[in-house]
Amino acid sequence: MNPAQAERPVRAAQPVIPVYRPDLSGKERDYVIDCVDSTWISSIGAYIGKFEAAIAGVTGAKHALSVCNGTVALHLPLHCMGIGPGDEVIVPAFTYIASVNTIAQTGAVPVFAESLRGDWLLDPEDVERRITPRTKAIMPVHLYGGACDMAAIMDIAQRHGLQVLEDAAEALGTTIGGQHVGTFGHAGSFSFFGNKTVTTGEGGMVVTNDDALAATMRMTKGQGQSTTRRYWHEVLGFNYRMTNISAAIGLAQTERLPQILAAKRRVAKIYKESLAGMPVTFQQAMAGVESADWLVSLLLPPGTDRDRLMAEMQAVGVETRPVFYPAHHMPMYRREEHFPIAEDIAARGLSLPSFPALTDGELARVCEALVNSLR
Amino acid sequence: MNPAQAERPVRAAQPVIPVYRPDLSGKERDYVIDCVDSTWISSIGAYIGKFEAAIAGVTGAKHALSVCNGTVALHLPLHCMGIGPGDEVIVPAFTYIASVNTIAQTGAVPVFAESLRGDWLLDPEDVERRITPRTKAIMPVHLYGGACDMAAIMDIAQRHGLQVLEDAAEALGTTIGGQHVGTFGHAGSFSFFGNKTVTTGEGGMVVTNDDALAATMRMTKGQGQSTTRRYWHEVLGFNYRMTNISAAIGLAQTERLPQILAAKRRVAKIYKESLAGMPVTFQQAMAGVESADWLVSLLLPPGTDRDRLMAEMQAVGVETRPVFYPAHHMPMYRREEHFPIAEDIAARGLSLPSFPALTDGELARVCEALVNSLR
Ligand SMILES: Cc1ncc(COP(=O)(O)O)c(CN[C@H]2[C@H](O)[C@H](O)[C@@H](OP(=O)(O)OP(=O)(O)OC[C@H]3O[C@@H](n4cnc5c(=O)[nH]c(N)nc54)[C@H](O)[C@@H]3O)O[C@@H]2C)c1O
Ligand SMILES: Cc1ncc(COP(=O)(O)O)c(CN[C@H]2[C@H](O)[C@H](O)[C@@H](OP(=O)(O)OP(=O)(O)OC[C@H]3O[C@@H](n4cnc5c(=O)[nH]c(N)nc54)[C@H](O)[C@@H]3O)O[C@@H]2C)c1O
| Rounded Cα gap, residues B201 and A39, in angstroms | 9
The overall average pLDDT reported for chain A is 95
How many angstroms is it from B357 CA to the middle of ligand 1? Answer: 39
How many angstroms is it from A223 CA to the middle of ligand 2? Answer: 11
Name the percent of chain B lying above pLDDT 70.
Answer: 96
Shortest-distance Cα residue to atom 51 of ligand 2 = B96
| Rounded Cα gap, residues B241 and A191, in angstroms | 14
Closest CA to B47 of B22, B70, B68, B66: B66
Longest CA–CA span in chain B (Å) reads: 67
Asked if pLDDT for residue A14 goes beyond 80, the answer is no
Average pLDDT value for residue range A180-191: 98
Picking from A44, A70, A227, the nearest residue to B10 by CB comes out as A44
- Number of Cβ within 10 Å of residue B278's Cβ equals 14
Shortest-distance Cα residue to atom 22 of ligand 2 = B4
Average pLDDT value for residue range B42-69: 98
Picking from B9, B38, B194, the nearest residue to A49 by CB comes out as B9
How many angstroms is it from A279 CA to the middle of ligand 1? Answer: 28
| Rounded Cα gap, residues B72 and B190, in angstroms | 10
State which amino acid sits at residue B364: A
Asked if pLDDT for residue A212 goes beyond 70, the answer is yes
Describe chain B by its helix, strand, coil percentages, rounded to 5.
Answer: 40, 15, 45
Asked if pLDDT for residue B28 goes beyond 70, the answer is yes
Closest CA to A64 of A175, A181, A205, A250: A205
> Does residue A264 carry a catalytic annotation?
no
Residues in chain B closer than 8 A to A227 (CB atoms): 2, 4-5
pLDDT level of residue A364 (50, 70, 90 thresholds): very high
Asked if pLDDT for residue B5 goes beyond 80, the answer is no
Ligand closest to the CA atom of residue A24: 1
pLDDT of residue B242: 98
Which of A10, A75, A96 has the most ligand 1 atoms within 8 A of CB, as the residue to mutate?
Answer: A96
| Rounded Cα gap, residues B75 and B31, in angstroms | 29
Residues in chain A closer than 8 A to B29 (CB atoms): 33, 36-37
pLDDT of residue A15: 56
pLDDT of residue A16: 86
CB within 8 Å: B4 and A234: no
> Looking at B136, B196, B221, B264, which residue is catalytic?
B196
Average pLDDT value for residue range A278-284: 98
Dump pLDDT digits (tens) for B303-330. Answer: 999 999 999 999 999 999 999 999 999 9
Mutate to test the interface with A, among B231, B251, B324, B325 (most CBs of A within 10 A): B231
How distant is the Cα of B9 from the closest Cα of chain A, in angstroms? 5
How many angstroms is it from A68 CA to the middle of ligand 1? Answer: 14
pLDDT of residue A375: 83
Residues in chain A closer than 8 A to B2 (CB atoms): 227-228
pLDDT of residue B257: 98
Q: Which comes out higher in pLDDT, residue A16 or A170?
A: A170
pLDDT of residue B7: 43
How many angstroms is it from A41 CA to the middle of ligand 1? Answer: 23
Q: From the alpha carbon of B193, which atom of ligand 2 is closest?
A: 11
CB within 8 Å: B9 and A45: yes
> Looking at A27, A62, A196, A269, which residue is catalytic?
A196
A26 within 8 A of A255, measured Cβ to Cβ:
yes
Q: Which residue in chain B has the smallest CA separation from A100?
A: B236
How many angstroms is it from B112 CA to the middle of ligand 2? Answer: 23
Residues in chain B closer than 8 A to A38 (CB atoms): 10
The overall average pLDDT reported for chain B is 95
pLDDT level of residue A53 (50, 70, 90 thresholds): very high
Q: Which residue in chain B has the smallest CA separation from A201?
A: B42
| Rounded Cα gap, residues A117 and A58, in angstroms | 30
Asked if pLDDT for residue B8 goes beyond 50, the answer is no
Which of A148, A193, A320 has the most ligand 1 atoms within 8 A of CB, as the residue to mutate?
Answer: A193
Average pLDDT value for residue range A295-318: 97
Asked if pLDDT for residue A272 goes beyond 70, the answer is yes
B110 within 8 A of B317, measured Cβ to Cβ:
no
Asked if pLDDT for residue A5 goes beyond 60, the answer is no
- Number of Cβ within 10 Å of residue B191's Cβ equals 30
pLDDT of residue B13: 47
pLDDT level of residue A10 (50, 70, 90 thresholds): very low
Using left for φ > 0, alpha for ψ between -120 and 50, and beta otherwise, residue A269 falls in alpha
Residues in chain B closer than 8 A to A22 (CB atoms): 39, 41-42
Shortest-distance Cα residue to atom 23 of ligand 2 = B321
Output the CA angle B328-B112-A223, nearest 5 degrees: 55
Name the percent of chain B lying above pLDDT 90.
Answer: 95
Shortest-distance Cα residue to atom 50 of ligand 2 = B96
Helix (H) or strand (E) holding A175: strand A175-176
Residues touching ligand 1 (Cβ under 6 Å) are A 3-4, 8, 18-22, 69-71, 95-96, 98-99, 141, 167, 169-170, 191, 193-195, 204, 319, 321; B 39-42, 44, 230, 239
| Rounded Cα gap, residues A41 and A37, in angstroms | 9
| Rounded Cα gap, residues B352 and B367, in angstroms | 9
